[in-house]
Structure 1
Amino acid sequence: MARLGRAPQPTSSADTGGGHSTDDEKGGREVNPRQKESLLIQKAKQMQENAPETEQERQMKEEAEIMRQVTQKAALKTYKELAKDISYSRSINTGWRPPLKYRLMSDDEHQKVRDQFYIICEGHQLPPPIPNFADMKFPPAVLAVLETKGIKRPTPIQMQATPAILAGRDIIGIAFTGSGKTLVFSLPMIMAALQEEVRMPVQRGEGPVGIVICPSRELARQTYDIVVEYSEALKQGGAPELRSLLAIGGVDMKAQADQIRNSGIHMVVATPGRLKDMLTKRRMTFDICRYLCLDEADRMVDLGFEEDIREVLSFFKGQRQMLMFSATMPAKIKSFAESALVDPVTVNVGRAGATNLDIIQEVEYVKEEAKLVYLLDCLQKTAPPVLVFAENKKDVDTIHEFLLVKGVEAVAVHGSKDQEEREWAISSFKAGQKDVLIATDVASKGLDFEGIQHVINYDMPEEIENYVHRIGRTGRKGKTGIATSFINKNQSEHILLDLKHLLREAKQRIPPVLQALHDPMDELAEMEAISGTKGCAYCGGLGHRVTDCPKLRADTREQSKKQQDRFGNNSSSGGFGAEM
């Protein structure tokens, strides 16, 4: 009989320890779980709880806290979406579907194809990899251009990322330089523009449908030329005309605006500064734009670009398909990028920041005063064309003058030269009229030069990811290339340690001067295995951890300086209200 004033409660065998209740339970008292343990087990648990924190545990906690602070930024959305907490749960529907034979294949069969080509793919309901362009349903005119260029089958990044983009998915694409990333986002953008033109032709003052944003004018020009080439091929094949615009600095904005006003445009390839100007001055709108690609995205959303991109995004009227591509995508950028994407697919071919294995990397110790003379010797290693990279503009001009005096057909490119001179230098080098191009890192990001057999680093860059981009100008499209880098005591130990680990990863010869460096990463190998993160999660360098990252320190100093300058400007102008 149940006790008065209390209803009987249902019990289960799990609650009563197999159906037998104790006297304590019957009396309504809780049982101390420790009473079920022996004194020996209790003492062992107590010692474990009070055990001092190991150095590895302390450093891993410190790294986790640093990365939490670094990635704890506002999502890369429009101001309206942030203010109203607008979020999109589904990808854009493009109407494209893979052929039936791929839809009938099992997930295990798709994964076998990915494993065969070393494609690492993450995301929800992954689209199938498609190993030929015809099955991606590109028009015959596009396939004909690919065939004339000798592109017979997709590269691994094209095989997986292109179907995903055609299906409307947001993408984070990571692949080594020279793997064909430009075609991955250019061809689907052309198809999106063609689809829109067929549905409802773009009129005067309208457009674009799709846009690609590049970090440099040279890369924007190269991408624009590719888009125009395939658009022209489609037109000759009987498709409607697709008009494109190159929006970069150094070119008259009025001519660019006139093109939109007079005929309307379908696609834009732009640099951030000029694009922001055109949008702010209402020379262009994103009313019908639904396709956005950030090429070399690690640079685009890195410190200094984030607000520019967010301001550009604020001109969109609704959801857009967003793509981010790069050869180097450190964890801090990847996690930040994911905040901007809807149900994203991450396609990774090789480790982010790894070098192309088709490049033979040679590192030479050369004193500063002997560099110019040794450079002449290095130019004899291979036939032209040869690319020479220097860290600053003054060195580029010095090398250029020296080579001209020695009778070498050379041209130079850096940020202080006017746009016309930069374009002439690159076009004459690409056409084979000049043998050597000397440049700063403005020419290292994504530019494709045909037949480069040799890249020379006159000095090492400050960041290892720039080294990866530089040497990636050779060894492209399955060909072998050589990269020669000069080092000496002027380089920081951090960059040399990163270089040492990069050479080791690529199974290249490590010179004695790098072997002799004290390597703290040898002591942290066990922690690296536990954490699952190789090297630095912030910049991608393999020779240090995030707690000792020079790039993080430099970026933090720069950010603090900007905040101080902003605060100082606000104070001098009569407070925060005066600025608004």
Structure 2
Amino acid sequence: MADSSSTARNPPTKRPRAASDADDHDHDHDPAVDDDDEYVPYVPIRQRKQAKLAHLQARNLLSTSEADVEEKKRAEEAAAAAAARTQSLMAQTMKLKETEPVKSSYELQLEKEAELLKQLVMKRKLASDKELAKGIQYSEAMRTSWTPPRTLMARGEPAFERTRKKYHILVDGEDIPPPITRFNEMKIPQCILDYLKQAKGIERPTPIQLQGLPVVLSGRDMIGIAFTGSGKTLVFTLPLLLFAIEEEMKLPFQEGEGPIGLIMCPSRELAKQTHEIICTMADVMASTGAPHIRSLLCIGGINMADQRNTIRQGIHVVVATPGRLQDMLEKKRFTLANCKYLCFDEADRMIDMGFEEDVRNVMSFFTGQRQTLLFSATMPKKIQNFAQSALVKPVTVNVGRAGAASLDIIQQVEYVAPEARTTYLLECLQKTPPPVVIFAENKHDVDDIQEFLLTKGVKAVGIHGGKTQEEREFAISSFKSFKRDVLVATDVASKGLDFNEIQHVINYDMPKEIEDYVHRIGRTGRRGKTGVATTFINTECSEQILLDLKHLLREAKQKVPPFLLSIEDPTELESSGPGDGQGCSYCGGLGHRISNCPKFELDKRTEFGNSKEKYAEGRGIGGGGGDY
């Protein structure tokens, strides 16, 4: 009876199994089976969750409304998942498109321009063949022995930002070195400071110098953008000179060694000018007992046999144009095995489509990491993006908008008929005393203008790519020494010609690109001085370049003549802020977008033509007489 009553009070919770008498005997004496208080029936998980929710509600940890919301949300998610399983992929895609935010026409335009910009980019990185073949990538910047003063670093980043804001300096990058407002705090030798003060009248660094010099002295790669005449040359020549002296003091250079640094320039005149600056500062340093730094000028039109003695002794610095440099490297007159410093002056021209292959061929001679610098007054976005492939943790230093004209230049634009331009030059020359520079687009106009001025008693010299190196050097030297009052030149003299006394620049014709216009007028109004730029325009000028000119004048707060104001601007788009997304992201012109940029179209056609030519060569088409 005891057994049957016990079984009635405790019905089995599991499927019964056949048990032996021994098992029944054991259960009679098992306290775990007989103890009613220890038994816990099984509760489904759904009931447990509901009980827990009720418990939380009772303790006021979760309000009834919140519980309803949670329950409703789970129900909606379950319903959506069930509906998605029954919907087609097309229906699901359409529903996703409906939920996407609607983009404005301006945002769509920017996306379109970004896609266009991707169509014409450099296909390979700006690196040596060894680095490309082995996949070598440098993750850390070069290290130098220079460090900022401790007292300066103690001021903190907020003080540095206030200094940059004061001088309108925009920077971008990681671990940016601090701006330094005094040369002596940069640890520059006193003899150089005396030379800058006495010979150049430079006592304090310009905005590009106070931020750019610490960046370069720290060994960082850099993109330097500043208007013409702002002192960019000193930013890359002075650190190179100091680095070369340091290397020479560690171990003197011997025959076949060097250079430690390379500066590439787009024109002979700019290369020669940079070479002379380095030689002058090297002589100043040598006069105080420092090792003498040897610089090699490597440009076309000069006899390199005259510089064999410099090469024989070992060279520290090479200043070159791409063509002659490539020739010297292929002939193994010197190597770049020890070169740790590379600078592109007027970098937008050096890395433009016409210079790409020459620059890449030179890069193939490097054997190790180098500090790479790019400087220019006009640096379109496409060049800045491409530069990232050549630089390691670069620092971008921008003083003003890339491609903007100096505010120290008074720009005057006049409508002059093509046949009246030559005679009108005499009237324009009366605006300011000499020296004056006249720019023309082609060589024949340069020769005609020079001859006309000589017949009128004006002391004029001319320079263009068709003249010999001796004629070009005579023209520059006689103009700089005030023996000639007027220099007539093509754009070969528009980049880097540093002559502070030029008071007037006359554009005999409007160049085809606004970048060339900025470089031309930048020959005056340098180092804080005021200059005048007069530009002749007429019906032969394209509407696109006139729109760019109109926007440039507005940006520089210059007077815009009525005939420029009358030109409608169909491409002007509404932007989200001042200067945000305005202008062409390819060439930097403010009066058009990349979608109707003539330079972009020209480069795209050029690239397509080159591709077809390479394809024909690969298939054996052309040049072979048509054999089958």
TM-score scaled to structure 2, two decimals? 0.84
The 1:372/1:287 distance shift into structure 2, 3 A limit, reads: same
Q: Report the Cα offset of residue 534 of structure 1.
A: 1.7
Residues 188-199 of structure 1 mapped to structure 2, 5 A cutoff: 188-199=239-250
Number of the residue aligned with 2:382: 332
Number of the residue aligned with 1:76: 126
Q: Report the Cα offset of residue 144 of structure 1.
A: 1.4
Contact 2:298 2:324 in 1 (8 A): yes
Q: Which one has a bigger Cα radius of gyration?
A: 2
**Cα deviation code 1:362-418 (max 9, x no counterpart):** 000000000001011001100000000001111111111111111110000001111
Letter in structure 2 aligned against 1:323: L
Whole-angstrom distance in 2 between the partners of 1:235 and 1:208? 18
Residues 67-216 of structure 1 mapped to structure 2, 5 A cutoff: 67-71=117-121, 73-148=123-198, 149-216=200-267
Number of the residue aligned with 1:40: none
Letter in structure 2 aligned against 1:447: L
Q: Report the Cα offset of residue 426 of structure 1.
A: 0.4
Report the 3-state secondary structure (helix = DSSP H, G, I; strand = E; otherwise coil) of the residue aligned with 2:354.
Answer: coil
Asked if 1:557 corresponds to 2:608, the answer is no
The 1:97/1:408 distance shift into structure 2, 3 A limit, reads: same
Contact 2:223 2:394 in 1 (8 A): yes
The 1:346/1:19 distance shift into structure 2, 3 A limit, reads: farther
Residues 483-522 of structure 1 mapped to structure 2, 5 A cutoff: 483-522=533-572
Contact 1:123 1:346 in 2 (8 A): yes
Moved more, 351-360 or 132-141: 132-141
Whole-angstrom distance in 2 between the partners of 1:514 and 1:392? 25
- Aligned equivalent of 2:275, options 214, 224, 228: 224
Report the 3-state secondary structure (helix = DSSP H, G, I; strand = E; otherwise coil) of the residue aligned with 2:484.
Answer: coil
The 1:405/1:569 distance shift into structure 2, 3 A limit, reads: farther
Contact 1:24 1:31 in 2 (8 A): no
Q: Report the Cα offset of residue 307 of structure 1.
A: 2.0
The 1:410/1:114 distance shift into structure 2, 3 A limit, reads: same
**Cα deviation code 1:480-518 (max 9, x no counterpart):** 000000000000000000000000001100001101101
Whole-angstrom distance in 2 between the partners of 1:104 and 1:552? 48
Letter in structure 2 aligned against 1:183: L
Residues 399-414 of structure 1 mapped to structure 2, 5 A cutoff: 399-414=449-464
Report the 3-state secondary structure (helix = DSSP H, G, I; strand = E; otherwise coil) of the residue aligned with 2:120.
Answer: helix
Whole-angstrom distance in 1 between the partners of 2:308 and 2:615? 36
Contact 2:130 2:367 in 1 (8 A): no
- Aligned equivalent of 1:377, options 427, 430, 455: 427
Asked if 1:394 corresponds to 2:447, the answer is no
Residues 166-565 of structure 1 mapped to structure 2, 5 A cutoff: 166-260=217-311, 262-522=312-572, 524=573, 526-527=574-575, 529=577, 532-565=580-613
Q: Report the Cα offset of residue 562 of structure 1.
A: 2.5
Q: Report the Cα offset of residue 34 of structure 1.
A: 12
The 1:23/1:234 distance shift into structure 2, 3 A limit, reads: closer
Contact 1:178 1:475 in 2 (8 A): yes
Moved more, 85-94 or 494-503: 85-94
Q: Report the Cα offset of residue 216 of structure 1.
A: 0.2
**Cα deviation code 1:70-124 (max 9, x no counterpart):** 3363221112212221111111111110111111111110000000000001110
Contact 2:261 2:316 in 1 (8 A): yes
The 1:33/1:112 distance shift into structure 2, 3 A limit, reads: farther
Identity of aligned residues (%): 55
Letter in structure 1 aligned against 2:588: G
The 1:3/1:267 distance shift into structure 2, 3 A limit, reads: farther
Contact 2:294 2:310 in 1 (8 A): no
Report the 3-state secondary structure (helix = DSSP H, G, I; strand = E; otherwise coil) of the residue aligned with 2:438.
Answer: strand
Number of the residue aligned with 2:28: none
Contact 1:71 1:335 in 2 (8 A): no
The 1:60/1:26 distance shift into structure 2, 3 A limit, reads: closer
The 1:529/1:116 distance shift into structure 2, 3 A limit, reads: closer
Moved more, 51-60 or 474-483: 51-60
Contact 1:354 1:468 in 2 (8 A): yes
**Cα deviation code 1:336-363 (max 9, x no counterpart):** 0111100100000000000000000000
Number of the residue aligned with 2:34: none
Report the 3-state secondary structure (helix = DSSP H, G, I; strand = E; otherwise coil) of the residue aligned with 1:73.
Answer: coil
Letter in structure 2 aligned against 1:202: F
Contact 1:257 1:284 in 2 (8 A): no
**Cα deviation code 1:296-338 (max 9, x no counterpart):** 0001111021221122111111100000000000000001011
Contact 1:528 1:534 in 2 (8 A): no
Letter in structure 1 aligned against 2:512: E
Letter in structure 2 aligned against 1:553: E
Contact 1:355 1:472 in 2 (8 A): yes
Whole-angstrom distance in 2 between the partners of 1:304 and 1:456? 27
Letter in structure 2 aligned against 1:557: R
Whole-angstrom distance in 1 between the partners of 2:535 and 2:264? 30
Report the 3-state secondary structure (helix = DSSP H, G, I; strand = E; otherwise coil) of the residue aligned with 1:364.
Answer: strand
Whole-angstrom distance in 1 between the partners of 2:167 and 2:101? 46
Segments of structure 1 that go 5 or more residues without pairing to the other structure are: 36-44
The 1:48/1:166 distance shift into structure 2, 3 A limit, reads: same
Contact 2:120 2:604 in 1 (8 A): no
Whole-angstrom distance in 2 between the partners of 1:63 and 1:481? 37
Whole-angstrom distance in 1 between the partners of 2:66 and 2:323? 71
Number of the residue aligned with 1:38: none
Whole-angstrom distance in 1 between the partners of 2:43 and 2:510? 84
The 1:47/1:30 distance shift into structure 2, 3 A limit, reads: closer
**Cα deviation code 1:49-71 (max 9, x no counterpart):** 48987644442221110122233
The 1:34/1:224 distance shift into structure 2, 3 A limit, reads: farther
Whole-angstrom distance in 2 between the partners of 1:168 and 1:490? 48
